[in-house]
Amino acid sequence: MFFSLFRNCLLSALIASASSPCMAQPSTNWPTKPIKLIVPYAAGGPADVVARELALVLSADIKQPVTVENQGGGMGVPALGVVARAEPDGHTLLLAAFGNMVLQPMLSKKGGADLVAKLKPVSTISTGPHVLVVSAKLPVKNISELIDYARANPGKVSFASAGTGGTAHLGMEMFKALSKTEVIHVPYKGSAGAVNDLISGEVSAMFSSLPSLQGLADKGLVKVLAATAPSKSAATKSLPLIGSALPGFEYTTWYAMYAPLATPKATVDIINTALGKALKNPAMVTKIEAAGTELQAGSPEEVLAWTQRDSDKWSRVIRDAKISVE
């Protein structure tokens, strides 16, 4: 009941932010000064890579500098706050992951839902699957073998994650529920420790974006078993799907662009058009999609559709697994 009510409130806030009247006067002169692109993650991660490549292309297109500012920590709440409080003129934007906009408000009471309601969707940016990776020491070669092994060894298969409530943790909970296995969640404070223990065999498996583990897979230190969803990216499109062995299992991660709530629709439309052009830049597409992420420009309404889909999906997982970060 709680998650159903919360999800509906969150979606209502997002829909209102996309369609509400703007207090600021419409402007068609964007941009008139440098752009700040706020990223709610530390430098070097997947979100940061996408943001910096996009900033380079966008800067050249709009003839204004686009500077990436990393505001990591706090489940993204500080970064959301920076943009929510910014001047609503389109010169301070947020590149957020679905974890910031969907998962964090469901899991935390630290202002996430209130801040989401103060942001306006501008455009979808990218989407892509996670991959399920296991230690090279685990005696399995595919998803079916992993499920059989977990069923035959209850409590002996462990899944690492970078922290409770993150996508890797929730992916494990979905896997556990659908496979009817007794697998164990082992949360870490960040991904470095999780990856190290995956290599050593201290933990059995983890869900992750592909780029962060591809090098280890190439060296035979870990095994990539399957992807969480279909993909057009060359890096992941040939991987088996978890859903083929576990019907009903599917999820993607995604990024979208947001502006302060009062940003005029005319300005949002201009930014959306500029992003649409930048996201089709051939060099950028080649570089980003080679790493397993599919660039995908879309409307504010598409951002809302992605949010609706994942709010429905993950609210059930969070409720059934009784997950809380507080």
Q: Hey, is 140 helix, strand or coil?
A: coil
pLDDT over 90 at 4, yes or no: no
Q: Hey, is 79 helix, strand or coil?
A: helix
CATH number 3.40.190.10 given to 131-245: yes
Pairing, β 158-161 against β 184-187: parallel
Note the pLDDT of residue 61.
97
Note the pLDDT of residue 26.
47
| Of 210, 195, 228, the residue nearest 290 (C-alpha) | 210
Proportion of the chain above pLDDT 90, given as a percent: 77
Q: pLDDT tens digits for 97-150?
A: 999 999 999 988 776 789 999 999 999 999 999 999 999 999 999 999 999 999
Give me the mean pLDDT over the 283-290 stretch: 91
What value does the mean pLDDT of the chain take? Answer: 91
Domains 2-128+253-321 and 131-245 share a fold: yes
Note the pLDDT of residue 12.
56
- Range from 29-33, 109-113, 301-305, 311-315 carrying the lowest mean pLDDT: 109-113
Q: Are 75 and 112 contacting, i.e. CB atoms less than 8 angstroms apart? A: yes
Note the pLDDT of residue 46.
85
Give me the mean pLDDT over the 184-203 stretch: 94
Note the pLDDT of residue 184.
97
Going edge to edge, which strands form the sheet with 131-135? 184-187, 158-161, 205-208, 131-135, 222-227
In residues, how long is the chain?
A: 326
Note the pLDDT of residue 206.
98
Write down the CATH number for the domain with range 2-128+253-321.
3.40.190.150
Query: What's 177-242 look like in SS3?
Result: HHHCCCCEEEECCCHHHHHHHHHHCCCCEEEECCHHHHHHHHCCCEEEEEECCCCCCCCCCCCCEH
φ/ψ of residue 4, rounded to 5: -65, -45
**Band of the pLDDT at 17, cuts 50, 70, 90?**
low
The residue to which tokens 């598409």 are assigned: 302
pLDDT over 70 at 224, yes or no: yes
Element (H, E) at 40: none
- Range from 106-115, 201-210, 246-255, 288-297 carrying the lowest mean pLDDT: 106-115
Q: List helix spans (H) across 219-292.
A: 242-245, 265-278, 282-289
Note the pLDDT of residue 98.
94
- Range from 24-28, 30-34, 113-117, 145-149 carrying the lowest mean pLDDT: 24-28
The residues spanned by each domain of the chain are 2-128+253-321, 131-245
Note the pLDDT of residue 234.
84
Give me the mean pLDDT over the 28-38 stretch: 93
